[in-house]
Amino acid sequence: MKKFDYYQPETLKEAFSLMEKFKGRAKYVAGGTDLIVRIKQKVIQPGALISLRGIDALKSIRHNGGLSMGSMTLIRNMERDAVITRDYPALKQAVSVLANPQIRNVATVGGNFCNSAPCADCAPPLLVMEAILMIDGPGGTREVPVDDFFKGPGENCMDSVEILKAIKVPDIRNPKFKTGMAFLKTGRVAQDLAIASAAALVSMDGKICRECRLAAGSVGPIPLRLRRAEKLVKGEEITPELLEQVGKTVEQEVSPITDIRSTEEYRRLVTGVMIRRGIGQAIGMVNGEL
Ligand SMILES: Cc1cc2nc3c(=O)[nH]c(=O)nc-3n(C[C@H](O)[C@H](O)[C@H](O)COP(=O)(O)OP(=O)(O)OC[C@H]3O[C@@H](n4cnc5c(N)ncnc54)[C@H](O)[C@@H]3O)c2cc1C
């Protein structure tokens, strides 16, 4: 492994000027669970690592009507957070099956997004919750909807100096309707990266679905929002026949590849099944069955 310098700034400003000094030869590091693996595999060989651990502005979870998570929030702390467990159960389900407890104790939510893997477990639930990413750079802060963040495998809309500061999730409770949500994941074994993952959010007005948001991971170059399938459900009574149709639409809407973890065909099929089950579980939550 090539030697690199290591810095631990205490402010965002300090981090930006260090990154500018290294002119693209440095990398930010959060928990390091992705980055250090890639350095060890010699996929990347940065001249310096700039740790985000010492920056207080990136820490802590706040509940202020909605939810605001500093990018350095540990996956383990999200898993244990009482408000996430109560109000954002799809996110709780996702972080509870991300890797294993050892990884969850050091991995961060910001790293999960900035790594920009199509299989990032936090992405599908935060897509259906329409989260906003707060991105800071030397020129100030910009807000990016999570749907616009990912650009390709390992690519996102941030430049190399920018830092993901926080992720904001609006209050998804609707005073007029009852909202339920779910996250499902299929892997080869427990604690593995997803073969496919799926998230569903529904707001129900009696038997009619007023809002339906669906998303999937590991079945395209980026985590995907499934808008064609959503349109079939919005404004409708959710019957077994409709769910069948939704499953078939999802199979067509995703664009998976065959790789070491699974085949393209299986990924299409299992995502259709998981979206159907996810909608069922979300309705079960609305009806107080779960
Ligand atoms: C054994 C193993 C199992 C895993 N299983 C899963 C799994 O089941 N599901 C899953 O989703 N992931 C899994 N991962 C991947 C990884 O653990 C997660 O993606 C984790 O959330 C990454 O967070 P981190 O803090 O360790 O990121 P790091 O490795 O520190 O950083 C990842 C990337 O993001 C950049 N970065 C980090 N934070 C910021 C920021 N705030 N602003 C700008 N750039 C930033 C870094 O420069 C780097 O390029 C696994 C990894 C391992 C080693």
Question: Which pLDDT value is given to residue 1?
Answer: 79
Q: Which residues lie with the beta carbon below 6 Å from any ligand 1 atom? A: 27-35, 37, 52, 71, 75, 98-99, 103, 107-108, 110-112, 114-115, 119-121, 163-164, 193
Q: Which CATH number fits domain 56-169: 3.30.360.10, 1.10.10.60, 3.20.130.10, 3.30.465.10?
A: 3.30.465.10
The residue contributing the CA closest to ligand 1 atom 43 is: 163
**Torsion of Cα atoms, 64 then 65 then 70 then 75, to 10°:** 120
For residue 171, give both structure tokens: 């209050």
Instruction: Indicate if the pLDDT at residue 130 is higher than 70.
Output: yes
Predicted confidence band of residue 174 (pLDDT cuts 50, 70, 90)? confident
Architecture of the domain whose range is 178-286: 2-Layer Sandwich (3.30)
Predicted confidence band of residue 285 (pLDDT cuts 50, 70, 90)? very high
Q: Which residues contact 116 (CB under 8 A, 6 or more apart)?
A: 149, 150, 151, 152, 153, 154, 155, 156, 222
Q: With contact defined as beta carbons under 8 Å apart, do 104 and 126 qualify?
A: no
What does the pLDDT look like over 91-124, one tens digit per residue? 999 999 999 999 999 999 999 999 999 999 999 9
Instruction: Indicate if the pLDDT at residue 194 is higher than 80.
Output: yes
Q: Choose one of 18, 97, 103, 135 to mutate for the ligand 1 pocket test, by most ligand atoms within 8 angstroms of C-beta.
A: 103
Instruction: Indicate if the pLDDT at residue 138 is higher than 70.
Output: yes
Class of the CATH domain delimited by 5-51: alpha beta
Q: Which residues contact 257 (CB under 8 A, 6 or more apart)?
A: 264
Residue spans of the domains in the chain: they are: 5-51, 56-169, 178-286
Question: Which pLDDT value is given to residue 290?
Answer: 66
For residue 159, give both structure tokens: 């430049």
What does the pLDDT look like over 234-258, one tens digit per residue? 999 999 999 999 999 999 999 999 9
Q: What is the mean pLDDT of the chain?
A: 96
Q: How far apart are CA 258 and CA 254, in angstroms?
A: 13
